[in-house]
Structure 1
Amino acid sequence: MNPAITSETLLHRLADVQVMVIGDLMLDRAVFGQVGRISPEAPIPVLEMGREETRIGGAGNVIANLHALGTQVAAAGMVGADAEGDEIAGMLAELAPAGAILWRQEGCATAVKTRYWGGGQQLLRVDRENRAVLNQEGMATILDWLDEKIGDVRAIVLSDYAKGALPPALVEQVIARARAAGRPVLVDPKGRDYARYRGAAVLTPNRRELAEASGVPVGDDGAVEHAAEALRTSTGVDAVLATLGGDGMLLATSAGATRIPAIRREVFDVVGAGDTVIATLAAGLAAGSDLAEAARLANLAGSIAVTRIGTVPVSRADLMAALAPAHGKVVELERAAEIVADARRKGRRVGFTNGCFDLLHAGHVAYLHAARARCDLLVVGLNDDASVTRLKGPGRPANRLADRARVLAALADVDLVVPFAEDTPLHLITTLRPELLVKGADYRPDQVVGARELAEWGGELYLAEIQPGLSTTALLERGPRH
């Protein structure tokens, strides 16, 4: 471990490491709609259904968060021999390209959690479960796969949702083999008896789980610290990272207890926040961070996760934006939406443009100045490093995301910088709904991403003049002038 590593440096190392996740896989479905009346049949709200979303849940949400961080993922779990299991298999093919073992167990139905939302409030959750414990053949298959992969991974997460994929015998073997190979095992625990996790590197209980497992009331700070230390010593784990909601986190190790304060944000939904925390913690440890720094980064990731509805992964771009608040301008999309909404209430005209902005040059400056002259607030969508590589090829970007964001934020014409991981900024555009969309005059209107949607709400498309001979690619090819 390197105690001097910074969070920003750590984020750039996440793509170079592989983390293994073993645990209970399920589907998280969300149904969104509006409630406008009470049923005449019973005193219950009537939900007028709108859109539906399906995401991989349980241990799958840990996998999805690691994938969003850019970390390589290997995954193993159990599902039923059913259509829902097929859905999970398809998702894992994208989320865990380092390899996945999906044990299909007869007599087991894939777990599905369906949440119904009306006007931003969760109304009902419906669970479909038919629990079955992983059988001996499935356990042997996963352990054989572990033996093959353990040399490649740098950390292992056991995501225990008590659905049967992690019987005590499997947990014991995974921890023993990982310790022999020098790989830390992080456990998101369930139940009251944590003895089965003996030998793990880190346990991540929440406040309620900490009280139940330790048998110690956790009503105040001193009690939490006592409970965490009692749990650490009784289970023989290296550390306990207790997640305490609005009170932040407490990290208990043999060196003592460390308090990690909460990062205050408006909480919309806590579902999946624990998965985000353990995924970020594991990725940080795998990338060479010390435990305290990885925990602080996990705390930041968890604070972002609770601002979103449903199990939406926290990306590396989200964390980078939160860590690079140059002049307060570099923000995540949710914060940008709040700022834009406030600007509109004040009668201000919102403009949007996007790009890689690698090696900022005079052409960029003139382009952004022309854009800002036509609006009151200019938002710049900034491609993250991975998307720049996909768009521009190997060797790009020349400058990492944090540096590009800071340089842009230093320009007076730029009001907000919003990093994004997708290849196009369509999601940013449709979320922010700018009155003005700006691209270079080397585009035709029908080539501009978001132009069609912009027309739907009556926005203006402006194609700004491009200064000939000025581009990042040309500068890199030309090299320095003497």
Structure 2
Amino acid sequence: MNTQIKTILEQFKGQRVLVIGDFILDVYLDGNCDRLAPEFNVPVLDITSQQYCLGGAANVAANLHALGSHVCYMSVLGQDHNAKIAIELLKEKGIDSICLHFTTLSPTLSKTRLSKDEQLLYRFDVGKKMELDQTVMDGFLKDLQKAYYNYDAVYIADYEKGTINHQVIHLLQEMQEKCFKPIAIDAKQYDKYKQLYPLIIKPNHQEALQILKEEPMEDRVEQAMGWSKSMHDLSNAKIVAFTLDSDGVVISRKDHPLFHYKVSNIKAQNVSGAGDTFLSAFLLAHISGATDADAVQIASIAASVSIQKKITASCSASELLFALLTQKGKILDAGSVAPCFSHILAEHKKVVFTNGCFDIFHSGHIQYLQQARSLGDILVVGINTDESVQRLKGPHRPVNTLEDRMEVLKGLSCIDYIIPFGTIGNDTPIDLIASIHPAIYVKGEDYKDEHLPEASLLESLGIEIIFLPYVPHQSTTKIIARVQKNDQVKLKKIS
């Protein structure tokens, strides 16, 4: 990750964004089915888990807040039980300012996804569109006028559910003429926002097809590039980001060359809200001074984080930083990456940590590392630097340089991340363990009766230590001796 991107991410914390749009409560029900209802002879789904999540514009607000910005969220709810759940969820997210209005004419909008063994079966919705009487709308407009001038940018999330009508758009236009602010818009129809001259709009492929009344082409990237002029003319947007799922993103600026950003293949757990995450990060990156190229990279990585979660979710600043730092491979820098582990991976994964010199790699190493990986979800390996190995093993070691040793470890599928360590006065992994805070620390059983310098730290942090069986006669020292003595030292074959 380059210094410029890191600087941009740091500036997210100072940004203030006003979010306006439709609230949707996302409900996830999962269960199993092993019987029929006797009265109707239909399958019975026994619910085993139920989760409530912020959807719609509320997910946008959650994303912007999680990325570090200060957020004011404005929307309309019904006067019902789901509204109470919505308020609690918004409070739990810690969103800075929540400005909600309530209508008696409509229920709080919700989408419930019903799954069996995590396989989606049905989605059923409550409410199609929010109905607001003029009294509620007047109060909403009054609060919008107060909030607008206190924020650096505006994000409009219009799902055509009734929160944003012509009165809201007209007021925004009046305020834009007095005090212009960058506006990001995610909507079904962009032409009605034309007079706002938005900074960014984000049509996905399906939405663009419907807006421009076109049929899909086999090459979606080429088709999106052909939409540039039409979409700019229709919306007056400065930047159009065509999101194309696995085909990446096409970024278009009026009178500028288009460019296509490719994305990595990632197994998606849930794509709901991915567009919210993308545009939230894209907007923050731009108002923090990012180029289009840096902004789309940041936004795409943020979206990739969110779709790997099972429910509608946001991408936090720590998760985004970690994803950007680790996108180029397994080898990480202790200073910038290690502190991210305790905030990110430990929340969702069981992290296993071990360390060593791994100088001349042999079958004992492989067996040891495979066993270590089987103990959890993520295996992090600390590896001593060349200078550290010299201090521990003597002036003739290591036989292989740090780069060569890490290259060997990179090729093992059981290893997720590799972090070099070791400084004058401290060749132990104590600092790494403190930063990563793994669930399990692994050593070979030959260390079982020795005093480990990291023992007191492991105990204080509640980290489990597991000693794995020692593979007899398998060691770097014995291999070196064998070479030096012309094969006089024999290695025992592992059965």
Give the TM-score, by structure 1 length: 0.69
- Aligned pair in 2 of structure 1 residues 439, 105: CA closer, same or farther (>3 Å)? farther
Tell me by how many angstroms 1:28 deviates: 1.0
- In 2, distance between residues paired with 1:444 and 1:334? 16
1:16 to 14, 17, 24: 14
Tell me by how many angstroms 1:111 deviates: 0.8
Contact preservation (8 Å) 1:25, 1:59: yes
Pairwise mapping of residues 63-212 of structure 1 onto structure 2 (< 5 A)? 63-95=61-93, 97-129=95-127, 131-178=129-176, 180-190=178-188, 192=189, 194-198=191-195, 199-212=197-210
Deviations 1:317-351 (A, max 9, x none): 111111112761458639995997x9999433548
Report the secondary structure of 1:300's partner residue: helix
- In 1, distance between residues paired with 2:313 and 2:453? 29
Contact preservation (8 Å) 2:201, 2:237: yes
Residue 345 of structure 2 corresponds to residue 333 of structure 1: yes
Tell me by how many angstroms 1:64 deviates: 1.1
Corresponding residue of 2:223: 223
Deviations 1:172-225 (A, max 9, x none): 4224424642311111112x5633454222111110101111223342333211
Larger radius of gyration: 2
Pairwise mapping of residues 313-462 of structure 1 onto structure 2 (< 5 A)? 313-325=314-326, 328-329=330-331, 333=345, 346-348=370-372, 350=375, 409-411=419-421, 429=439, 434=440, 448=461
Amino acid at match of 2:304: S
Residue 308 of structure 2 corresponds to residue 307 of structure 1: yes
- In 1, distance between residues paired with 2:153 and 2:3? 18
Tell me by how many angstroms 1:264 deviates: 1.7
Tell me by how many angstroms 1:46 deviates: 4.6
Corresponding residue of 2:289: 288
Contact preservation (8 Å) 2:372, 2:442: no
Report the secondary structure of 1:93's partner residue: helix
Amino acid at match of 1:237: A
- In 2, distance between residues paired with 1:250 and 1:104? 39
Amino acid at match of 1:50: T
- In 1, distance between residues paired with 2:331 and 2:35? 42
- Aligned pair in 2 of structure 1 residues 236, 436: CA closer, same or farther (>3 Å)? same
- In 1, distance between residues paired with 2:226 and 2:329? 41
Contact preservation (8 Å) 1:64, 1:95: yes
Report the secondary structure of 1:116's partner residue: strand
- Aligned pair in 2 of structure 1 residues 435, 328: CA closer, same or farther (>3 Å)? closer
- In 2, distance between residues paired with 1:25 and 1:201? 23
Pairwise mapping of residues 195-274 of structure 1 onto structure 2 (< 5 A)? 195-198=192-195, 199-219=197-217, 220=219, 221-254=221-254, 255-274=256-275
- Aligned pair in 2 of structure 1 residues 264, 39: CA closer, same or farther (>3 Å)? farther
Report the secondary structure of 1:311's partner residue: coil
- In 2, distance between residues paired with 1:63 and 1:55? 12
- Aligned pair in 2 of structure 1 residues 105, 207: CA closer, same or farther (>3 Å)? same
Range with bigger deviation, 55-64 or 147-156: 147-156
Contact preservation (8 Å) 1:18, 1:153: yes
- In 1, distance between residues paired with 2:149 and 2:172? 14
- In 1, distance between residues paired with 2:23 and 2:434? 30
Contact preservation (8 Å) 2:281, 2:298: yes
- In 2, distance between residues paired with 1:329 and 1:51? 37
Tell me by how many angstroms 1:93 deviates: 3.3
Report the secondary structure of 2:371's partner residue: coil
Contact preservation (8 Å) 1:207, 1:243: yes
Give the TM-score, by structure 2 length: 0.68
- In 1, distance between residues paired with 2:142 and 2:306? 34
Contact preservation (8 Å) 2:53, 2:311: no
1:31 to 14, 29, 34: 29
- In 2, distance between residues paired with 1:273 and 1:201? 20
Amino acid at match of 1:305: S
Range with bigger deviation, 319-328 or 274-283: 319-328
- Aligned pair in 2 of structure 1 residues 327, 244: CA closer, same or farther (>3 Å)? closer
Deviations 1:368-390 (A, max 9, x none): xxxxxxxx98999xxxxxxxxxx
Contact preservation (8 Å) 1:178, 1:184: no
Tell me by how many angstroms 1:138 deviates: 3.3
- In 1, distance between residues paired with 2:133 and 2:47? 40
- In 1, distance between residues paired with 2:172 and 2:232? 19
Gaps of 5+ in 2: 333-340, 353-365, 381-387, 393-412, 423-427, 444-451, 468-495
Amino acid at match of 2:317: R
Task: Give aligned-pair identity as a percent.
Answer: 22
Amino acid at match of 2:286: L
Contact preservation (8 Å) 2:370, 2:414: no
Deviations 1:421-475 (A, max 9, x none): xxx97xx85xxxx586999766796x756x7xx7xxxx859xxxxxxxxxxxxxx
- In 2, distance between residues paired with 1:60 and 1:137? 23
Aligned length: 393
Contact preservation (8 Å) 2:379, 2:414: no
Tell me by how many angstroms 1:12 deviates: 1.3
Deviations 1:107-161 (A, max 9, x none): 1110111112233321211111152334433333333333333333221111112
- In 1, distance between residues paired with 2:139 and 2:145? 10
Corresponding residue of 2:492: none
Instruction: State the superposition RMSD in angstroms.
Output: 4.2
